[in-house]
Structure 1
Amino acid sequence: MGRRRKSSTADDLMDLVALLPWWAGVGLAGLSYWLLHGVATRPLPVVQTGRQISEALPSMLWQGFANGGQYLIPFICLMGALASFLRRRKRRALFDQASQATGADALQGMSWQEFEMLVGEGFKRRGYGVRETGGGGADGGVDLVLTKGSEKFFVQCKQWKAFKVGVTTVRELYGVMAAGAATGGFVVTSGRFTKEAEAFAAGRNVELVDGPALAALLRAARTAGAGRPGASAAPRAETGTPRPATDARQHTARGTSAGTDAAPACPRCDRPMVRRTARKGSAAGKTFWGCSGYSQGCRGTREIAAP
């Protein structure tokens, strides 16, 4: 995703505070004022000789900074808290709008900033801790960091209206996952994925979520709410243990098939389902709908209707 360039340290600080809950920004404003005001109101030392001036200079400089900082830094924190509050409201509004839509069309009119907000809110309501990276990376970087327990997941968002997401994007995320010791990752798009991207993700702990699958996930998150932290589409891996190539949890997720407009709900738990391909047995090579909660123990499946 494209990013705006930071223009000053004050902008960086405000953006950092905006990543926190709004009440944390208010608390930081109060704390910074209390600390700096205490320094600013200290009596200045009486100096008469050059040596005394030299010894008192650091304290005088710090006090001079505190005189202005006692107002400037709390103001920046309050602006960051306001930005956090407004973004939170916007995320909720975007989520309500998208989760009530009947298809993936509602995603197409969003900007990339709105799309990232929506994806983050969707994962948050599925029981994840969500941290926005704040736009520090290039297009191949991570947009969201998810946490659940001791596990960490990276999310790359691609709001592409006219193109399919290719294998390069998936490879980039997979490399960042390895470097960042992430349990798994998601590539989320409002469009589709190329067959090369799907083939690369198969057998790796990367979940591909296209527009229809995202719409289904958002609807399920709205129904389930944040009270069901286990209801998620997380790709899971046992720590330190390679996953076998035949494990169904490794297969690429796709939200649609030729005969359906959106992913159905699981008949067992109502989670959104994802398209999988059987790798062994008499049904090897055939596609079917599998529950996105496979890693949480649900084995619900559905046949894919013929076109």
Structure 2
Amino acid sequence: MIASNWGILMPRRKSDADRFLDGLFAFLRAMPWWVGPPCILIAWILFAWVVPGVLNLLSGEDTEPFLQQFFGIVSDVSAMLAPFAAGFVAVLWLAALVRKAVDARRLDRQTGIDSIRALSWQDFEQLLAEAFRWQGYRVYITAAGADGGVDLVLEKAGRRTLVQAKQWKSWKVGVKIVRELLGVQVAQQADEVVLATSGQLTREATAFAEANGIRVIDGPQLAELIASVQHMPDKPAAPAATPAPSAQPPDPGTDATAPCPACGAAMVQRTARQGKHAGKSFWGCTTFPACRSTKAMT
């Protein structure tokens, strides 16, 4: 079984209608709240006027009588379904707003790795999904309770990333799981795979992941990820993670509390983990992701 984005359990092989509903919910989930009313109006117009109008154009004088009768029936049914279609979109929009509020509240309640480890595995997966959404990904939750396999599917800029979540507190993730994740990447032809865990990996598992380009987000990195996307304006800033030994030291002439050049908020030290500047420190706005302004450390 696979859980859809809006909480209804679906069979593993989804129909086109199921995928459409999942996509519509994901769209409403990602968009600002005010997008919902126009979508409701569009659904009403589509069923009440657009479909009947097109069918009336098809029912010309040259059309067979039985086709004219068929088009007339479909047109009448479409007009009758208009309020139901609009109502369904409204319910889906409200469900998306509720889910967005619940996920945002869960994200902002986290105070560090201990609070993350205290979550249930379902809340752990939802927390990861919300964190990736704030990084600009479209997220699909693909697990309905069974531990193992792919739990999240991320899409961004035409790239597809598979995420396996391990809410393990008392033991380390072994190399067998990392090997299986690599096999899933090859089988599904994904662009990237990520292993996210609230615990740690064994030394062998870490070496295998590094050798095969598998991105690992372990306990300390996970806490840093969650802290970087928390967006409640009245939430105290999380302690900055200790820079890696290879990280560039901060410029003594730069103050961490200097105002952000874009919004005036305080700046904090961060460390780039990807791209050509990986391992280097920079100043980032504390209101990220609302403000993405950065300053280089010279």
TM-score range with shorter-chain normalisation? 0.5 to 0.7
Letter matched to residue 75 of structure 1: G
Match of 2:243 among 265, 278, 286: 265
Q: 1:86 to 1:113 in 2, by over 3 A?
A: farther
Match of 2:84 among 72, 85, 90: 72
User: Gaps spanning 5+ residues in structure 1: where?
Assistant: 46-50, 226-261, 271-290, 302-307
Letter matched to residue 18 of structure 1: F
Give the aligned partner of residue 195 of structure 2.
Answer: 187
- Quick check: 1:130–1:146 contact (8 Å CA) kept in 2? yes
- Quick check: 1:155–1:187 contact (8 Å CA) kept in 2? yes
Worse-superposed segment, 29-38 or 209-218? 209-218
CA separation in 2, counterparts of 1:62 and 1:2? 34
* Other structure's SS at 1:19 match: helix
Structural RMSD (CA): 4.0
Match of 1:296 among 247, 261, 276: 276
Q: What TM-score results when the alignment is normalised by the length of structure 2?
A: 0.61
Give the aligned partner of residue 258 of structure 1.
Answer: none
Q: How does 1:1-307 map to 2 (within 5 A)?
A: 3=3, 5-6=9-10, 14-20=21-27, 21-22=30-31, 23=33, 24-38=35-49, 54-98=66-110, 101=111, 103-125=112-134, 128-135=135-142, 139-147=148-156, 149=157, 151-222=159-230, 264-265=242-243, 268=248, 293=273, 295-300=275-280
Give the aligned partner of residue 292 of structure 2.
Answer: none
Q: 1:196 to 1:293 in 2, by over 3 A?
A: closer
Q: 1:300 to 1:194 in 2, by over 3 A?
A: same
- Quick check: 1:159–1:190 contact (8 Å CA) kept in 2? yes
CA separation in 1, counterparts of 2:119 and 2:37? 30
Shift of 1:145: 0.6
* Other structure's SS at 1:185 match: strand
Worse-superposed segment, 9-18 or 87-96? 9-18
- Quick check: 2:113–2:219 contact (8 Å CA) kept in 1? yes
Shift of 1:95: 2.0
- Quick check: 1:190–1:211 contact (8 Å CA) kept in 2? yes
- Quick check: 2:150–2:162 contact (8 Å CA) kept in 1? no
Q: What TM-score results when the alignment is normalised by the length of structure 1?
A: 0.60
Q: 1:94 to 1:156 in 2, by over 3 A?
A: same
Q: 1:167 to 1:11 in 2, by over 3 A?
A: same
CA separation in 2, counterparts of 1:77 and 1:172? 39
* Other structure's SS at 1:295 match: coil
Shift of 1:146: 4.4
Q: 1:173 to 1:74 in 2, by over 3 A?
A: farther
- Quick check: 2:196–2:222 contact (8 Å CA) kept in 1? yes
Letter matched to residue 214 of structure 1: L
Give the aligned partner of residue 286 of structure 1.
Answer: none
- Quick check: 2:2–2:9 contact (8 Å CA) kept in 1? no
CA separation in 2, counterparts of 1:11 and 1:299? 42
Letter matched to residue 141 of structure 1: V
User: Gaps spanning 5+ residues in structure 2: where?
Assistant: 58-62, 234-239, 251-270, 282-298
Shift of 1:57: 4.0
CA separation in 2, counterparts of 1:216 and 1:115? 15
Worse-superposed segment, 157-166 or 8-17? 8-17
Letter matched to residue 293 of structure 1: R
Give the length in aligned residue pairs.
Answer: 234
* Other structure's SS at 2:49 match: helix
Deviations 1:244-275 (A, max 9, x none): xxxxxxxxxxxxxxxxxx952355489xxxxx
